[in-house]
Structure 1
Amino acid sequence: MKENIHQTNQIIGGMVAGENLYHAEHLKAAFEGQDSAFRKAIEQIDKDRDFIGSPEHILGNNQTKHGEIAEQVEVGIRNARDNLRQQSPSATFDGVGRTAPEDYLIDGVQVQSKFINGINKNLDHVLKHMRKYENFGRDGSYYHIPKDYYETIKKVLSGESVEGLTDRTVHKIQQNLQEIEKLSGKSFDDVVKPSNSQYSEVQQGKIHDTLDKHEQELSGENKQIKENIRTDAQPNLGDMAQVAAKGALIGGGIRLAFKLYEKYKQGKNPFLGDYTVEDWKELGIDTAKGATVGGISATIIYALTNYASFSAPFAASFVSAGQSIASLVKSLNSGEISFDQFTEMSQLVCIESAAVGLASALGQAVIPIPVLGAVLGTIAGRMVIDFSKKHFAKETEGLKHRMEEYYNQCLTTIDQTYQAVVSRIIAEYEKLGDLTKAAFDLSKNVELRLQASIDLAEAYEVSDVKIIHNINELDAFMLS
């Protein structure tokens, strides 16, 4: 169905372009959503700064104000992290009185914060609170203590030696832990949990540095999240397989439609029982061929648009040109056409690809109308050479020589300014190297996905550590 190669591939190219646009828009929306999440996270930090900036409103004297500061920081940092990860804030003061048994709620559970100087004094306050409120620590509610205190307690529980603690202090810690477990009927870990802050971090002279540290951590995590978003949005084999399936559906559908129309023109209607077994067999084979070619075309167009920075129309035309030349090579080898006819016809089928290429891929350069013919003809000629290399070697040298003569003749007809423009365009085209050959060597689809992309990445000086070189590296990347 030579007559519909270009139309089919352009439709498939449009489908691939739509898929690429969808992914680009999805990536943009993901970035915008993450930027919004980061701003909300920083707003939580700013709320803590505003609270600390008015010490006259903080409960307690200068030696005890850190207790309420610790509460504000705990809620603020938790909610900042939740916002950054685009989750609903988990901590709140809503519905909690300033003198209530709990200081705040986390995921709807009551939490009492105890920030007292000294581990055993801190545990004493926990026990005092538990004796005052008989349900606290027993009904799912729990206590927060300084993170560094909690880590020290865990070392004591595991029998580790802790520098700076006397045997008497360690013994007292163990007694307090046993008492907490006795009163609650639960393990220490269920009743007492670590806060986000160490004791020293929430002191009035240190809290601003603490908030700065948390803001830097949020910024670093935000960068990593955005990098993960970017990585997840990269072209991958899964998307390529989906595109190939859609391309096969398009290719098979179009081939089926053309074949049905062809049979209709012959006076055969499948709904009236006019088809013979041979007709149905021919229809099935033709549709299968269309689906296969469509799937391969979609895969190549996807690869060219995502790995070689081709525009979809140019990639589709490239595919069409390759298929057309392959057909011409077959005719040449069978003796149906001469080598001169092959050269002329090849240039004609590549002219469209060259034109689309100039309009889409190389449109950044301002192309004066007087040089348009020279550029089109030159690129078309070079495309013919590239597509022909894999089919025959001896004739290619002669073809290359004839094209070079044509190229030089074109240059002599335009002035130096236009010559520079043409040379620039040709240089951009030649950066593609042997990608065209790889793209249309259908026996090497893996090389199309890997080696061609590696060569292109190296040509554009992409760092070697960022390039996937083999199947093992690809598997590791996909599963990371």
Structure 2
Amino acid sequence: MQTTSVQDQISSAIVDGINVARLQDEITQLNLQDQCFINSMKHVDQVREFIGTPKNILGSDLTKHGEIAEHVEVGIRNARDALAGDTVRATFEGVGRTAPEDYLIDGIQVQSKFINGLGNNLEHVLKHMDKYENFGRDRSYYHIPKDHYELISKIHRGESIEGLSQKTINSIQAKIEEIQTKSEQPFNEVVRPGVSDYAEVQQGQVHETLNKHSADLEQQNDKLKDIIHDKHQANLTEGLKAAGTAAAVGGAIALSSSLYLKYKNEGKNLFKGELTKEDWKEVGLDTAKASALAGVTGATVYGLTNCAGLAAPLAGAFVTASKGVSSLVHDFYQGKLTFEEFQMNSIFVCADSAGVGLAALAGQTFIPIPVLGAVIGSIAGKFVCEILLGEDKKLAQKMEASMQLFLAKVDEVYINVINKINTEFEKIADLRSKAFDLNTNISIIESSIILARAHGVEESKILKNEDDLRSFLFD
């Protein structure tokens, strides 16, 4: 069983590496997204800084909203790009304050027309097109208030607009046709909606507008982080990868071991061509069995670590013990073993896996050498009882009673350590049902919270949700 225990721990280490890599990538992606959010807010803050000094804004109190609209347009567009991790596309760089364009988007000139009234917006577009004969014709275009654009588009599609006279509708339709004639392009290519409604960029309203955009960006950031979290959940594909990798490694170890034993026990040298056809069949069969078992172990450990929140070494030890005890249960019911023999063999099997599991988990750092035997014996007994719950409850109860007699003989000095271990096992409960019951597919985050509490981490220091994480990172 020693070789099996070590091989199972190797499979557990492989699974643990896959789990750790996934979690590290999730943390990296979440940190990058938080940085994107910080960069996004910088663009909003630049707009706040601009509107915070009204005397530097062009125009009278009645027309300052025009330049405010330009800065909101550029700032919010760039904030959205930054949040998505994209290169910002809007800029004032290289644009004079009296140039034909107000800003550039993707290197294309854009003129902003935020005028009160649907017809007035289109009238100012036409005047600008008359003044600059290439504008609106060379891929450059106009931005008008988003709410105005929606109403004008409805009129363009022939929809009725409540509150507008037919005369006004006809006038707007005529201006749309004129814009299309001058530009020789569809209306929606020459005139496009800005990110703001007309009222949103007025001096008395723009601060509230920026607050709304900030809230929207924060909400979108939360959704992006949820997507990242969902993408990094344990899944069937990764579970199959874990099983496949464990199978490949287990098969390789078994092949090497078989070839070595052939040389050691029978003196047959692979490199001298001394292995017969029958030898190769035997080696191949051993390799195939070991590979299949390692694959099953990898898949089971993946389920235990991700669904039941167990550490990989403990999960590996449990798998090793499960295989051994299940075999002994079969022999017991076949009459090949007495209860005493079953009890002793079960303890030995589980003590072996418990010892290897403890070594892989913590070495002897937390376990004093004098109490090692009693500790391993306790863990072994617990393994047997937990496994038997899935095999035969009556047999489990009988084994538990026997374990209580064992514990009664253990020195009082060791009892404290053993009681602590038993307390931890109570939190684990029925490992087998947890591992394979899809209804108890506990999330990694929830498991980490439970683990932190189990190890005595102060409640105030445990990050339970995104608000806690945000406060930890930024406060």
Q: TM-score range by the shorter chain?
A: 0.7 to 0.9
| Letter paired with 2:217 | L
SS in 2 for 1:6: helix
Q: Is the 8 A contact 1:111 1:143 kept in 2?
A: yes
Aligned equivalents of 2:122, 2:155: Cα separation in 1: 14
Q: Quick one: structure 1 residues 230 and 41, their matched pair in 2 at CA, closer, same or farther if it must change by over 3 Å?
A: same
**CA–CA distance in 1 between the matches of 2:282 and 2:373?**
43
Give the residue type in structure 1 aligned to 2:438.
L
Instruction: Say which SS state the counterpart of residue 382 (structure 1) adopts.
Output: helix
Q: In 2, distance between residues paired with 1:340 and 1:231?
A: 50
Indicate whether 1:128 and 2:122 are aligned: no
**8 Å CA contact 1:314, 1:356 repeated in 2:** no
Query: After superposition, what is the alpha-carbon deviation per residue over 1:137-175, rounded to whole angstroms, capped at 9, x for unaligned?
Result: 122211100000001112212333222212111111111
For residues 454 and 28 of structure 1, what CA distance do their matches in structure 2 show?
A: 19
What's the CA shift for 1:394?
A: 5.6
1:348 aligned counterpart, secondary structure: helix
CA distance in 1, matches of 2:375, 2:439: 29
Q: Relative to structure 1, is the Cα distance of residues 290 and 45 closer, same or farther in structure 2, using a 3 angstrom cutoff?
A: same
Q: Go from structure 1 to structure 2 and tell me whether the alpha carbon gap of 1:328 and 1:218 turns closer, same or farther (over 3 Å shift).
A: same
For 1:307, the equivalent position in structure 2 comes to 307
> Which residue is equivalent to 1:433?
429
Alignment partner of 2:412 out of 402, 407, 414 = 414
CA distance 1:449–1:156, change in 2 (3 Å): same
Distance 1:320 1:452, change over 3 A: farther
Task: Look up the match of 2:405.
Answer: 405
Secondary structure class of the residue paired with 1:136: coil
Is 1:252 matched up with 2:240?
no
2:24 equivalent in structure 1: 25
Structure 1 residues 438, 336: closer, same or farther in 2, change over 3 A? farther
Matches within 5 A, 1:354-433: 354=354, 376-391=376-391, 395-408=395-408, 410=410, 414=412, 423=419, 425-433=421-429
Q: Which residue identity does 2:412 align to in structure 1?
A: I
What secondary structure is seen at the aligned counterpart in 2 of 1:204? coil
> What aligned pairs does 1:185-264 form with structure 2 within 5 A after superposition?
185-264=184-263
| Residue equivalent to 2:9 | 10
Q: Deviations over 1:422-473 (max 9, x none)?
A: 556424313333323675xxxxxxxx262553799999999xxxxxxxxxxx
Kindly provide the CA deviation profile for residues 398-435 of structure 1, in whole angstroms up to 9, marking residues without a partner as x: 3232123334555xx538x966x755642431333332
SS of equivalent to 2:215: helix
Superposition deviation, residue 100 in structure 1: 1.5
Corresponding letter in the other structure for 1:129: H
Unmatched segments (≥5 aa) in structure 2: 451-475
Contact 2:199–2:205, Cα closer than 8 Å, also in 1: yes
Name the amino acid aligned to 1:414.
E
TM-score (norm 1): 0.84
Displacement of 1:230 after TM fit?
1.4
Percentage identity across aligned positions? Answer: 46
How far, CA to CA, are the matches of 1:262 and 1:369 in structure 2?
34
Shift of 1:213: 0.9
| Aligned partner of residue 195 in structure 2, secondary structure | coil
Deviations 1:154-209 (A, max 9, x none): 22123332222121111111111111111111111111110000011111111111
Question: Amino acid of the residue matched to residue 441 of structure 2?
Answer: S
SS at match of 1:431: helix
CA contact (8 A) 1:368 1:418 kept: no
> Could you tell me how far apart the structure 2 residues matched to 1:382 and 1:113 are?
74
User: Cα distance 1:459–1:269, how it changes in 2: closer, same or farther (>3 A)?
Assistant: closer
Inter-partner Cα distance in structure 2 for 1:437 and 1:346: 21
Letter in 1 for 2:4: I
| Corresponding pairs, count | 447
- Compared CA separation, residues 208 and 296, structure 1 to 2 (3 A): same
Q: 1:358 to 1:336 in 2, by over 3 A?
A: same
Name the aligned partner's letter for residue 351 of structure 1.
Answer: A
Instruction: Give the Cα–Cα distance (whole angstroms) in 1 for the partners of residues 97 and 386 of structure 2.
Output: 78
Q: CA deviation at 1:348?
A: 2.4
Which residue is equivalent to 1:450? 438
Q: How far off its partner does 1:277 sit?
A: 1.9
Equivalent residue, structure 2, for 1:55: 54
AA in 2 matched with 1:340: E
Q: Is the CA contact (8 Å cut-off) linking 1:362 and 1:425 kept in structure 2?
A: no
Q: Higher mean Cα deviation, 323-332 or 214-223? A: 323-332
Distance 1:127 1:353 in 2: 83
1:442 is aligned to: none
Q: Structure 1 residues 168, 87: CA separation in 2 closer, same or farther (over 3 Å shift)?
A: same
How far the C-alpha of 1:228 sits from its partner, in A, is 1.6
Distance 1:438 1:111, change over 3 A: closer
Q: Which runs of 5+ in 1 are unaligned?
A: 440-447, 463-480
Per-residue deviation, residues 338-368 of structure 1 (Å, max 9, x unmatched):
43222112212323554577789899xx989
Are the counterparts in 2 of residues 314 and 353 from structure 1 also a CA contact under 8 Å? no
Contact 1:371 1:422 in 2 (8 A): no
Tell me if the contact between 1:40 and 1:80 (Cα under 8 Å) persists in the aligned partners.
Answer: yes
CA contact (8 A) 2:6 2:356 kept: no
| 2:340 pairs with 1:340 | yes
State the partner residue of 2:109.
Answer: 110
Cα separation, 2, equivalents of 1:168 and 1:403: 95
The C-alpha deviation readout for 1:298-330, integer Å capped at 9, x for no partner, is: 111111111111111111111222223234445
The one-letter amino acid paired with 1:289 is K
Alpha-carbon contact 2:306-2:444 (below 8 Å) kept: no
The one-letter amino acid paired with 2:431 is: L
Aligned partners of 2:46, 2:75: CA distance in 1, in Å? Answer: 7
Q: TM-score, normalised by structure 2?
A: 0.85
Q: What SS class does the counterpart of residue 110 from structure 1 fall into?
A: strand
Change (3 A) 1:359 1:48: farther
Q: CA separation of 1:171/1:359 partners in 2, compared to 1, >3 Å: closer, same or farther? A: farther
| RMSD between aligned residues | 3.1
- Report the Cα distance in structure 2 between the residues aligned to 1:355 and 1:285, rounded to whole angstroms: 29
- Name the residue aligned to 1:176: 175
> Structure 2: how far apart are the matches of 1:361 and 1:255?
24
**1:456 and 1:62 mapped to 2: Cα distance?**
56
The reply to whether residue 74 of structure 1 matches residue 73 of structure 2 is: yes
How far has the Cα of 1:254 moved from its partner? 0.8
Is the CA contact (8 Å cut-off) linking 1:130 and 1:136 kept in structure 2?
yes
TM-aligned CA deviation for residue 242 of structure 1: 0.9
Which protein, 1 or 2, shows the higher relative CO under an 8 Å CA cutoff with sep ≥ 6? 2
For the 8 Å contact 1:6–1:317, the answer to whether it is kept is: yes
